[in-house]
Amino acid sequence: APGMAVAGERRGHPAGPEPGPGRGEEPFSPSVLGTREHWDAAYERELQTFQDIGDAGEIWFGEESMVRIIRWLEKQKVPLDSSVLDIGTGNGVLLIELAKSGYVNLTGIDYSPSAIQLSEKVREKEGMSNIKLKVEDFLAPSAELSGFEICIDKGTFDAISLNPDNAVGKRKQYVRSLCSALKPEGFFLITSCNWTKEELLNEFREGFEILEELPTPKFCFGGRIGNSVTALVFQRKKGTSFCNLSAGSFFLR
Ligand SMILES: C[S@@+](CC[C@H](N)C(=O)[O-])C[C@H]1O[C@@H](n2cnc3c(N)ncnc32)[C@H](O)[C@@H]1O
């Protein structure tokens, strides 16, 4: 959809040789992609397009990124009634695909009201009324946003990382929010084009351990071979004190 052209430019562009996170540095230039205004405006346009031609719009990282996630859940024999949270659901298409695969306990949140409006319209069109959708900022989660067995992030941690205002603090808050949203031993599936596997391992090292790296397409550029997209599955560790720290002690770390 034309409205997402700016967002589209970023895809397929790896972070490159910039310094990674975890060293207290900002690895990316701040971008409008990190702001709510951007997403509100983008989904406002997508909403209009949906109303005009019934197109749900951008699927970040393409269809295959959804297939990859669903295949892993199936391989792992994750029960179909497991509670699943899609963090920054956008148009909610991933939840529709999960529902089509038989998952029945699905929730999507997004901080952009126009994204949630669009996802509601897509849900209605697909007749998937049992999917729960809510406007919510993952960095300031409500008390109900807890106890999920599966959390999925496709491009949202990337967007948050680009926030022009205190991205380092926002990434830390993301990990805290994830600790409270996900049950101990629950699975977290993240798809990112801004972070390498090593960087993500570092970002989520406290409280989470890696279970698996999911294969993603490789690119070859200037003699270097790499992945433009990284997809990892983490498991929340049991009894990690990290998740119980107060905000004050957290930021003093
Ligand atoms: C790159 S898009 C990905 C959308 C969707 N997950 C997909 O794969 O198509 C990033 C999404 O994250 C949402 N988002 C960014 N920051 C957020 C936050 N703090 N809380 C909730 N949603 C957020 C944006 O509104 C946007 O829908």
pLDDT per residue as tens digits for the range 72-123? 999 999 999 999 999 999 999 999 999 999 999 999 999 999 999 999 999 9
Query: Which positions of the chain have pLDDT values less than 70?
Result: 1-28, 220-224, 226, 240-253
Q: How far apart are the first and last CA of the chain?
A: 43
Give the per-residue pLDDT at 32.
83
Q: 171 C-alpha vs ligand 1 centroid, how far in Å? A: 14
| Side chain identity at residue 164, one-letter code | P
* Ligand 1 site, residue 157, Cβ cutoff 6 A: no
| Side chain identity at residue 113, one-letter code | P
Give the per-residue pLDDT at 242.
59
* Ligand 1 site, residue 159, Cβ cutoff 6 A: yes
User: CB-based contacts of 91: which residues, under 8 Å, 6+ apart?
Assistant: 43, 46, 50, 56, 57, 58, 59, 115, 118, 119, 122
Residue for token digits 């956008």?
A: 90
What pTM value is reported for the model? 0.87
Give the per-residue pLDDT at 50.
96
Q: 121 C-alpha vs ligand 1 centroid, how far in Å? A: 17
Domains of the chain, start order:
32-246 (3.40.50.150)
Q: Angle at Cα 203 formed by Cα 217 and Cα 162, nearest 5°? A: 75
Give the per-residue pLDDT at 221.
64
* Ligand 1 site, residue 34, Cβ cutoff 6 A: no
Query: Taking phi first (over 0 means left), then psi (-120 to 50 degrees means alpha), and beta for anything else, what does residue 153 get?
Result: beta
If one counts every other C-beta atom within 10 angstroms of the C-beta of residue 114, the result is: 19
Give the per-residue pLDDT at 31.
82
Give the per-residue pLDDT at 102.
98
